[in-house]
Chains A and B, each alone.
Chain A
Amino acid sequence: MSHVSSKGLYYSVFFALCVLTVVTVAIARVDLGVMNTPIALAVAVSKAMLVILFFMGVKYNTPLTKVVAASGFVWLIILFGITMGDYLTRGWLGVPGR
């Protein structure tokens, strides 16, 4: 009736999540300047994708569920994008009171 993933897949995903956790701790100790946080986020997004696709089984869900699941993250990007677009550019014009 619905997709049943193999236990092996779950163990592999688990192993990958553990490895990525070690990676994120290790990379945090290296000074990469402004790139530290983007790399940490890239690792976190990879881990989240593994959980969403396999543990949550979105890979095997209907297209409608996939779109709904993705929409949350699209709105999140809009929230971050527009808010930071405002705050980071306030100083540009030099208008008193901004």
Chain B
Amino acid sequence: MSAPNVHADAHQEHHPKLQHHFHNMAQQLEASILGMWVFLVTEVMFFGGLFMAYLLYRNMYPDAWLAGSNELNEVLGGINTLVLIVSSLTMALAVRAAQVGHRMWQIANLILTIIFGSIFLIVKYFEYAAKFEHHLVPGSSFDPAREPAQQLFFSLYFMMTGIHALHMVVGIVLLFIILRMAWKNQFSADYFAPVEVTGLYWHFVDIVWIFLFPLLYLIGKHH
């Protein structure tokens, strides 16, 4: 595209949400999606470090990993997996509703996503409470009858699921901001990038759990 055309484009399109450094709304959306993915790649590496530690220590202390894993509540973990999958579906439907400009359907799905995200955190709270009760939290209160290496498993369990839960909390805060924008009717079929990138973040957090569930909860089940 030649320079004069670029200039003409920028002035012909008068969408109020178009930033001046973009040619058009499609390019602006593309840039938002790409930018979010760059951030998500850093998140992959961030969680990747924890998965690396998991892999290494599991290799060094396989028995501690199996024994530790069998202390986790598989049923609650499984329910939470399904809860997150449902929340990903409602998130995808919320983005779709924004794309087709269906405001009420979008608001309904955003609220459902917030509810399912909250259910996940509530279930997680009960799981954590049980670990404190059963002396499975690493440190001076850790059950002395257990092999010390199991503290490594539970350290990684709390670190990985804790940081994942923190991401859920951030996601829910973002969803409330998006919900408020949707309520004020700020999105349209031309402009929905904030819903789209929030959806990308939410799905990413779901993907982390998709790996955490089998690696933390299920590894000792066949023994």
Contact = CB atoms under 8 A, between A and B. Distances in A.
Interface of A: 1-2, 4-5, 7, 10-11, 13-14, 17-18, 21, 24-25, 28-32, 36-37, 40-41, 43-44, 47-48, 51-52, 54-56, 61-62, 64-65, 68-69, 71-73, 75-76, 79-80, 83-84, 87-88
Contacts of B56: 83-84, 87
Nearest to B34: A65
A17 B82 CA distance: 9
A22 to B, nearest CB: 9
Contacts of B204: 56
Contacts of A17: 85, 88
A10 B89 contact: yes
Contacts of A11: 89
Given A1-B189, A72-B41, A76-B45, 8 more contacts: A1-B26, A1-B29, A21-B78, A41-B211, A47-B207, A51-B210, A72-B40, A75-B45
A16 B91 CA distance: 17
B168 to A, nearest CB: 16
Interface stretch (B1-9, B93-101, B152-160): B93-101
Interface residues of B, number: 52
Contact of A18 (B85, B219, B221): B85
A75 B221 CA distance: 31
Interface in B179-212: 189-190, 199-200, 203-204, 206-207, 210-211
B108 interface: no
A91 B107 CA distance: 58
Nearest to B214: A40
Contacts of B10: none
Nearest to B56: A87
A59 B7 CA distance: 32
Contact of A51 (B29, B48, B81, B88): B88
Nearest to A6: B96
